[in-house]
Amino acid sequence: MTEPLRPSASASDHAPAVAPDTAVNGVPDSAVAGELRRVLEQVDGVQKLYPAHPVWQNIAGAAHAAVTGEAPNPVAVDASGDVVTVKARIGVATGHRAPDVARAAAAAVRARLEPRRCAVEVAVVHIAG
């Protein structure tokens, strides 16, 4: 029960998130996650994104990633309900205040998804010295 993402008029600095062959009724969560990843990486003070669900916790996960060559998706998106939930773990760059960057990151995601109702979780897992 997903609604298509309305293309953002202000999103002139990056390519459209939706690939031509995605579902008509909804944008796959993975595409939204990729789009939000780009949004987050451009927030001032965000140094990098960390895996939302670390696969390195077990050898099997690490072996799988080594075989497929895929990096784990840093942004977890669930658009299956009325409220889109977004989870991201970020590293904050030197010279920035972590609480401010966390707020800026959540605001950037919220702005990108507008007017969809969303619940954004941002966790700062690393602060550069």
Q: Which residues bind another protein (CB under 8 A)?
A: 50, 54, 56-57, 59, 62, 83, 97-99, 102-103, 106-107, 110, 117-127, 129
Closest distance to another protein from the beta carbon of 22 (Å): 26
Beta carbon nearer to another protein, 46 or 102 = 102
The closest of 76, 124, 118 to 100, measured between CA atoms, is 124
Q: How far apart are the first and last CA of the chain?
A: 44
Beta carbon nearer to another protein, 3 or 114 = 114
Closest distance to another protein from the beta carbon of 14 (Å): 23
Q: Which residue type is seen at 122? A: V
Beta carbon nearer to another protein, 31 or 108 = 108
Which of 31-46 are b and which e, b meaning 16 or more Cβ less than 10 Å from the residue's Cβ? bbbbbbbebbbebebb
Neighbour tally for 101: CB within 10 Å: 22
Q: Is 92 exposed, middle or buried (0-12, 13-18, 19+ CB in 10 A)?
A: buried
Beta carbon nearer to another protein, 37 or 110 = 110
Closest distance to another protein from the beta carbon of 126 (Å): 5
